[in-house]
Amino acid sequence: MDSKTIDEKAVPCIPDDVYPLHTLDYNPNYVDWVMRFNDVLDADLLKKSLSRLLEIGDWRKLGGRFRYRPDGKLEIFVPGSSAGERENVSFTQAVIESNILDHPAGSKLPVKTDGPSLYRMEPEFRPFDSRPNFPIFEEMTKHDIPPISVHMTSFNDATILALSWPHQLMDAMGGKALLAGWSSVLAGREEEVPEVVGAREDILDHPEITAKAEEEFILDNNRISGLGYFMFQLRFFWDYLWSGAREKRCIYLPKESFQKMKDEVKAEIAANATDREDTPWVSENDILTAWAARAFASSEPTSRPITVLNFLNLRFRIPLLLKSTGVFLQNICVGTFTFLSAPVARGPLGQIALENRRHTAEQGTDEQGRRLMRSMIDDIEAGKGPRIFFGPTDGVYMIVNNVIKIDLIKTAKFGPAVIRQGESSETRKNPLGSMVSYYNEYLDHMYDAFNAFVMYGKDHADNYWLGGALLPRAWKAIEESLEKLK
């Protein structure tokens, strides 16, 4: 497709601008989505359309530069320029004259299989994850580097796009909005690009959100503090020194295998229900969390309680945010905590799923979410890190990040950028220019010491893509469980 089909509107000279970072924009780690397409995409079209998106209204924030204010806090400086004079996105491309399955590293990337499968995230994948000499955050602030980075690897029949940004910029919902807006501009439908809300004033400071909650803060009684926090940290570092770094892997789980898991959970819950006509309900997240938590707990050499931290996006809880028709390019996530005793964590899936549902229901309300958010903000404004550790001091933490709900795999619609169809129409399940899968890479070794399980999403055939960072013994337990789901 001719790159001139992108609407390159004349943009007048734009003055300098400055955007603040909001209070929950404190996470120093990187987000890196490595997205696989079974078509060959046009790099020039993708770059121009993304760059154009970052010229529209307060989307400009994403094309600025992080810099430190005199008080040591970060802000985003957007230099004034005419269109095209200064890059607002770092876009690089590597061209490999080979089909993806004929390439030594490309052939090892996760793919759909007849049954569930587990993939190591090999060191050879590193060139797909980001451009060479990818900058650490401090280099980004010193050397005039845009925060959004895209590294494209083009094969003869496929494309890999690695989209990365510092987490201070926005959370996964912000990233979803970016992919959707990018797709709209690429298709020549700029009028569909939503307005950015709260770019200059933190929506979390709105009186409707900061109003004092009437409910007691449920988690306060479980907060780890004082000597307990010291002992918790001591155990954490001892576990890391003794066990070593976590390994990153990816899981392909066919919808039939998940249904088998779901049927097992429902049967267990029904068998123990006192009222057969009112059997407790559990969600997709509860089931997958229970499955990962039990495998993790059963692999531990000693029987210890497990604390599961599930991320909670307040966009789906606070009425003011739910009513907005715009997008929030910031971090609006807190968490819920499921406390599993050692026997429960190693027990039936149904009981673990019910415990996860109970804790999520109690802590995931509008008021409880705002109470935790307020607690975190108070800590940050006091110059401390947010106190987000709750549960027994001898517990082992597992972080669970579920982004199935936001449907990332189906969000990128890059059909107008397709140069050549890769997979044939006879076998493919996805539209032209859409993702077949993706995974997260941790460019800053964020999860080397943390146990993490990630639910990436469902593909166009409703199969599940999962992954995370766990110790080899936990992956062995997961592999054994996958065998039973075949």
- Domain-wise residue ranges, the chain: 3-201, 204-409+417-484
| Residue 2 predicted with pLDDT over 80 | no
Place of tokens 């999403």: 457
User: What is the mean pLDDT of the segment spanning 92-109?
Assistant: 97
Spatial CB neighbours of 163, under 8 Å, sequence gap ≥ 6: 32, 33, 35, 148, 149, 150, 175, 178, 179
pLDDT more than 90, % of the chain: 79
| Residue 413 in this model has a pLDDT that exceeds 50 | yes
Question: What CATH superfamily is the domain 204-409+417-484?
Answer: Chloramphenicol acetyltransferase-like domain (3.30.559.10)
pLDDT tens, position by position, 15-74: 689 999 999 998 888 999 999 999 999 999 999 999 999 999 999 999 999 999 998 889
Query: Is the model's pLDDT at 1 over the cut of 50?
Result: no
420 backbone φψ class: left, alpha, beta (φ>0; ψ -120 to 50):
beta
240 pLDDT tier (thresholds 50, 70, 90):
confident
d(CA 155, CA 104): 12
Instruction: Check residue 111 and give its pLDDT.
Output: 95
**Residues 376-397: what's their mean pLDDT?**
90
3-201 with 204-409+417-484: one CATH topology? yes
- Is residue 9 pLDDT above 90, yes or no? no
Q: Are strands 149-154 and 90-95 parallel, antiparallel or unpaired?
A: parallel
Q: Which residues contact 123 (CB under 8 A, 6 or more apart)?
A: none
In the numeric block, the tokens 């996105």 are attached to 89
Task: Give me the pLDDT at residue 4, please.
Answer: 41
The sheet with strand 435-440 has its strands ordered as: 90-95, 149-154, 159-166, 30-37, 435-440
Alpha helices in 244-299 (DSSP H): 255-272, 284-299
Secondary structure (DSSP) of 310-378: EEEEGGGT-HHHHT-SSB--S--EEEEEEEE-HHHHTS-HHHHHHHHHHHHHHH-SHHHHHHHHHHHHH
- What is the greatest pairwise CA distance in the chain? 70
pLDDT of residue 445: 63
What is the distance between the alpha carbons of residues 310 and 359, in angstroms, rounded to a whole number? Answer: 10
> What pLDDT score was predicted for residue 382?
87
Tell me what pLDDT residue 26 has: 86
Residue 8 banded pLDDT, cuts 50, 70, 90: very low
CB-count exposure of residue 436 (10 Å: 0-12, 13-18, 19+): buried
pLDDT reading at 6 higher than 60: no
pLDDT at 449 (0 to 100) = 81
pLDDT value at residue 14 = 62
pLDDT in tens, 166-218: 999 999 999 999 999 999 999 999 999 999 999 999 999 999 999 887 889 99
Over residues 119-168, the pLDDT tens digits come to 999 999 999 999 988 888 888 888 889 999 999 999 999 999 999 999 99
Q: What's the mean pLDDT when you consider all of the chain?
A: 92
For residue 112, give the 3-state DSSP assignment. Answer: coil
State how far the Cα of 43 lies from the Cα of 154, in Å rounded to an integer. Answer: 9
d(CA 207, CA 214): 15
Contacts of residue 129, Cβ cutoff 8 Å, sequence gap at least 6: 32, 34, 151, 162, 441, 443
By residue count, the chain amounts to 486
**pTM recorded for the entire structure:** 0.93
pLDDT tens readout for residues 321-337: 999 999 999 999 999 99
Q: What is the mean pLDDT of residues 86-91?
A: 92
Residue 56 near residue 112, CB atoms below 8 Å: no
Residue 398 belongs to what H/E stretch? strand 396-402
Token pair belonging to 21: 């970072």
Whether 93 and 43 have beta carbons less than 8 Å apart is answered as yes
What was the pLDDT predicted at 335? 96
How many CB atoms are located within 10 Å of the residue 8 CB?
13
What is the structure's pLDDT at 241?
A: 85
The pLDDT score that the predictor gives to residue 154 is 98
**pLDDT score recorded for residue 85:** 67
pLDDT > 70 in the chain, percent: 95
**293 CB-near residues (< 8 Å, 6+ apart):** 306, 308, 338, 340, 345, 352, 356, 398
Residue 239 to residue 235: CA distance in whole angstroms:
6
Per DSSP, 281 falls in state P
Q: Which residue has the tokens 């479980």?
A: 222
Lowest-pLDDT range, 9-13, 191-195, 299-303, 318-322? 9-13
As a whole number, mean pLDDT of residues 405-418 equals 96
Which superfamily, per CATH, for 3-201? Answer: Chloramphenicol acetyltransferase-like domain (3.30.559.10)
* pLDDT on residue 277: 66
Instruction: Answer for the pair 127, 153: CB distance below 8 angstroms, yes or no.
Output: yes
Residue 95 is predicted with a pLDDT of 98
Given a cut of 80, is residue 344 above it in pLDDT? yes
**What integer pLDDT is reported at residue 450 of this predicted model?**
87
